[in-house]
């Protein structure tokens, strides 16, 4: 089982959006996929429930439950963890212990950039991250590439010690699809394909994760 932890200390960064779209990508590709929803808002769980009737359904698991490690089913190929909101690395120890990669979404604003730095610093103290055994990737989320704010944010993100592994453009499609239990990877229109291409670097990076 490969495990991807999606985490951010800043609320509203798009953690659940990234987690659900990643899960859908793998499920559409034929992988047995589950989301371990450790966020008390349970947004990913509700998304899974709406998707339950599809061939590419994603199994929701309760990551808020005590001893959740004992309730992971067998036969799962991909486990995406939607981390608790606002948690620092010490609070994520149990999830970091099973992760193959950590994905950190960040919005292109100075408030979000500044709020993410302490979280990344806390990750750097984790033994597996410090020893280079657990890769951490930054996802710039809800970008408006034509704006100076987004361009300045990208410049700053590229200077961080973790790689910038994706640049996801802002679109209302994510909101509309989430309400239906769907994802970018369930559609094939030309407009949607252009946004799917935003995810290609992240998916390639995840394939290389140990």
What does the pLDDT look like over 22-42, one tens digit per residue? 999 999 999 999 999 999 999
d(CA 109, CA 176): 23
* pLDDT on residue 80: 98
Give the start-to-end residue ranges of the domains of the chain: 2-199
Question: Tokens 């067998």 belong to which residue?
Answer: 74
- Average pLDDT in the 143-160 region? 90
Over the chain, what is the mean pLDDT?
A: 94
* pLDDT on residue 210: 81
- Average pLDDT in the 48-64 region? 96
Tell me: pLDDT of 123 over 90: yes
pTM above 0.85, yes or no: yes
Percent of the chain at pLDDT exceeding 70: 100
* pLDDT on residue 189: 86
* pLDDT on residue 17: 96
Topology of the domain covering 2-199: Rossmann fold (3.40.50)
Task: Tell me the per-residue pLDDT of 82-113, one tens digit each, with 9 for 90 and over.
Answer: 999 888 989 999 999 999 999 999 999 989 99
d(CA 126, CA 161): 15
Give phi and psi for 115, each to the nearest 5. Answer: -70, -25
* pLDDT on residue 71: 87
* pLDDT on residue 112: 92
* pLDDT on residue 117: 94
Angle at 170 between CA 49 and CA 77, to 5 degrees: 40
* pLDDT on residue 162: 95
């Amino acid at each position: 089982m490969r495990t991807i932890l999606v985490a951010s200390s800043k609320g509203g960064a798009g953690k659940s959006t990234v987690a659900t779209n990643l899960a859908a990508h793998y499920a559409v590709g034929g992988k047995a996929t589950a989301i371990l929803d450790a966020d008390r808002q349970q947004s990913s769980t509700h998304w899974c429930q709406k998707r339950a009737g599809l061939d590419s359904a994603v199994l929701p698991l309760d990551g808020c439950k005590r001893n959740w490690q004992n309730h992971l089913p067998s036969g799962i190929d991909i486990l995406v963890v939607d981390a608790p909101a606002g948690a620092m690395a010490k609070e994520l120890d149990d999830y970091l212990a099973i992760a193959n990669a950590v994905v950190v979404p960040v919005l292109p604003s100075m408030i979000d950039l500044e709020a993410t730095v302490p979280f990344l610093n806390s990750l750097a103290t984790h033994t597996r991250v410090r020893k280079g055994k657990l890769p951490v990737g930054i996802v710039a989320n809800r970008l408006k590439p034509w704006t100076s704010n987004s361009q300045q944010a990208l410049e700053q993100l590229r200077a961080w010690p973790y790689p910038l592994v994706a640049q996801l453009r802002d679109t209302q499609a994510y909101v509309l699809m989430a309400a239906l239990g769907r994802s970018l990877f369930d559609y094939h229109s030309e407009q949607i394909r252009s946004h799917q291409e935003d995810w290609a670097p992240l998916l390639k990076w995840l394939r290389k994760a140990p």
